[in-house]
A and B are shown apart, each in its own frame.
Chain A
């Protein structure tokens, strides 16, 4: 890899890390307001860095789960396997998943109706 390519990859990496930090700060701001505590820049940065490492760990595991099922595309079941040890978290994720599927099916029904009218 030439130095120019290496530099570009570095910038993309930095951009993504900045995006994670931005969203981390937003979420922390929302929650600190409700809990009446003051945020600390270093704490937010640490949380951001920890999420980043989590993404890395999740990516590796998800790829492995999908491969184990002889797939190259990761699906919802793979994600649910990540959190199998936390029952409450899993229950919440199942709910979220149902919502996603429900919205998806509503979208499909609407397109079916419009094609039927034609």
Chain B
């Protein structure tokens, strides 16, 4: 898997939502959260694709994404 998040990007995004300005991420946790996000996207894509195959479609649709979204959010 080649596509991945840049550490700096993830750090900046999370920093935006920290309530305390003293809160920081250590490098390991940054790497793990990036991995988590990448898996999340892969799962979202794969589950939508599986749903599309079930429905007999060759192109992904919002309807299929919406079908798999609840379980996806519960798993992460």
- Chain A contact residues, CB within 8 Å of chain B: 12-13, 16, 19-20, 23-24, 26-32, 35-40, 42-43, 46-47, 50-52, 54-56, 58-60, 62-63, 66-67, 72-76, 78-80, 82-83, 85-86, 89, 92-93, 96-97, 100-101, 104
Closest chain B residue to A66, Cβ basis: B23
Judged by DSSP, the binding face of B is helix
Check if A75 sits within 8 Å of B26, measured CB to CB.
yes
Q: What count of chain B residues pass the 8 Å CB interface test?
A: 55
A51 to B35, CA, bound (A): 12
Check if A86 sits within 8 Å of B75, measured CB to CB.
yes
Most chain A CB within a 10 A radius of its CB, from B1, B41, B59: B41
Check if B38 sits within 8 Å of A101, measured CB to CB.
no
- Chain B contact residues, CB within 8 Å of chain A: 1-6, 9-10, 12-20, 22-26, 28-29, 31-33, 35-42, 44-46, 48-50, 52-53, 57-62, 64-65, 69, 73, 75-76
